Structure 1
Amino acid sequence: MSPRLVDDLPRPSGAPGLRVWLKSSGYARRLLLGEDGDPWESAPRYLSFFIQAHGLLRPDVAVVDVGDLYRSWVARHPALTAEMGAKKRPAFPLKRMLEEAGPRKLLAEVVEAVSASLRGATPLVLAAPAPRRWLMQAAEAAGRGAPELDADAIEGAAMYMADLARSVSHLAIGGLLLEEGVDGAADGDGAAYRPLVNVARHYRWGLALRGRPGRMAEDFDTVISTALPESGDLALGLDVSGPLWAAAPLAPLDAGQFYFAEIPVGAEPEAVLQNLARLRA
């Protein structure tokens, strides 16, 4: 069983928790597999990659990047790309991509293997682009221009993503991370994200957002941002990806906060280890 992300989060009320959350898949892939290496060719290959990367970086959160899995799958299956562009509806490329059986099976195999390797020591979190962002990425992969998206399209995307999450709900997952991007803002009051919020609550998974939450912060267990909102008792992740790699001073953490850092793909290993030591000092 994976530890629940919510149980590892620090709280402003004083409960201690994780200190460093890393996004490292691009850097680890280049370092361990080379510029053109792909860990997603099979579950055993991914597990070998994951174990090496996890041992090297020792993050407080184990992340499986679902968006990266689908980028790999689409690149290796051009017939699927053609099918994704077959209908004009804005949400169709993402719908067609996420209903494909092959990547769902691979995701389940990867989650099962990774959770077994962790032995309950670290929460396992599935990371994916937030609904609007994944709609844009899927349209681009299908050879389309940027789609015009309304609340219905975004809610539809969240429903497709929730269905994907349910397909692995029997496995040891501790949380979900939705990534709007460093400065991306969540949509409206959060109604469009309700299918994902409901899934996370039903399976007692922690729910995290990387981006600006707007009026929907209360729907998440933690928000990760460069500018932290007022939070009540919400755990907050300070995104220091910019100042960390620029060798700039880091803001100290207050109670209920942790550092989040994305490691640049081209970073030098010595610099990475030095900067991780700064975060953990």
Structure 2
Amino acid sequence: MSTSLQSLITERPSGRRRPLLLDHDAYATAVIRQGAAIPWTDTPALAGHVGQVSGLLDPDVAWVDIEALYRARLGERPELVAAMGARTRAGTALRTLLGDQESSRLVVDTLQTIARTSHRRLVIAVPSPARLLLRAHEIAGTPLDEVDEDRADAASVYLAEWLGHLGELPVALVVLDARARGTEPEPVVPEVLGGYTALGNVAGHFGWSVALRSEEGIALGADEPRVALLAESFWTGVVEAPEADALLAAIPPSAVPEQVLERLAQLA
């Protein structure tokens, strides 16, 4: 059976010779929204935003920043934040967050809206298990000093259970982002894609592709198509796109709109 990424490469919905997996949130916030936040919790406004992005950039997928979506939802759920911080034990904050049924339902509804509006498969961009654990505790006010292998593995189980709620959605790829933010501690053991059995199992069940993104690049399973990262300098014409089956890129918020459109045309 083909994985979700292999199917995307066959379909190439934009008509480009290879799919472009585009993280456009920072650029869209700066250019399309003129600095206003993405309206994650306002469904009609979000649908309008997604439609604008699709019309302007024509990405091959709808990129969804799950952390940003949850942070917006938590801004309206102070009682959930309080429950996350009610106990300081490692893992409690994340288990409470991902186990909240109301939040999960609203997130799934949001993802359905994005998929329906964009007419694209979804890229589920989520912090890697270790990073997700750290950020859940940071939100809860019970920060962790370190994440060892056992804690990261437990976090991967919570994440896998949560991903199970997305089984009816058209997912192209799950991207686990292992890059640090600010002064976050590094995991005791570096994260590797093959180390998370629970995530591999849920991905295999749904036929999804999963990638681990780090400072060094992006890693997928051995049988998956080759995905290359586009350097930010691509958008200013300094470098060209590498050879690969698909390209993953983030447009910097400082990019010049005319140059962005020119560079997108070169990827056709």
TM bucket normalised to smaller: 0.7 to 0.9
Partner of 1:167: 165
Where does structure 1 lack aligned partners over 5 or more consecutive residues? 11-15, 222-230
Which amino acid is 2:26 matched to?
G
Contact 2:234-2:241 at 8 Å conserved across structures: no
Q: 1:139 and 1:248 mapped to 2: Cα distance?
A: 40
Q: 2:191 aligns with which of 172, 187, 191?
A: 187
Q: 2:30 and 2:116 mapped to 1: Cα distance?
A: 25
Question: How far does the alpha carbon of each residue in 1:75-130 deviate from its partner, in whole angstroms, 9 at most, with x for none?
Answer: 333333232222222222222221223321222212222333344xx332222111
Over 4 Å off, 4+ runs? 182-186
Contact 1:111-1:172 at 8 Å conserved across structures: no
Quote how far apart the aligned CAs of 1:23 are: 0.6
Which amino acid is 1:273 matched to?
L
Pairing 1:200-215 to 2, within 5 Å after superposition: 200-211=203-214
Distance 1:212 1:269, change over 3 A: closer
SS at match of 2:88: coil
Q: How many aligned positions are there?
A: 255
Contact 2:66-2:126 at 8 Å conserved across structures: yes
Q: 1:150 aligns with which of 148, 155, 178?
A: 148
Which amino acid is 1:135 matched to?
L
Q: 1:173 and 1:54 mapped to 2: Cα distance?
A: 17
Contact 1:42-1:106 at 8 Å conserved across structures: no
Partner of 2:78: 78
* Percentage of pairs with the same residue: 30
Contact 1:19-1:60 at 8 Å conserved across structures: yes
Quote how far apart the aligned CAs of 1:4 are: 2.8
Distance 1:18 1:55, change over 3 A: same
Q: 1:271 aligns with which of 246, 259, 262?
A: 259
Quote how far apart the aligned CAs of 1:198 are: 0.7
SS at match of 2:255: coil
Q: 1:151 and 1:274 mapped to 2: Cα distance?
A: 45
Pairing 1:222-241 to 2, within 5 Å after superposition: 234-241=224-231
Distance 1:188 1:266, change over 3 A: closer
Q: 1:55 and 1:108 mapped to 2: Cα distance?
A: 23
TM-score (norm 2): 0.80
Question: How far does the alpha carbon of each residue in 1:218-271 deviate from its partner, in whole angstroms, 9 at most, with x for none?
Answer: xx34xxxxxxxxx6x542222223332454222541xx4332211123434223
Contact 2:233-2:239 at 8 Å conserved across structures: yes
Q: 1:263 and 1:4 mapped to 2: Cα distance?
A: 24
Partner of 1:35: 35
Which amino acid is 2:191 matched to?
D
**Mean alpha-carbon deviation: is it higher for 174-183 or for 84-93?**
174-183
Structural RMSD (CA): 3.1
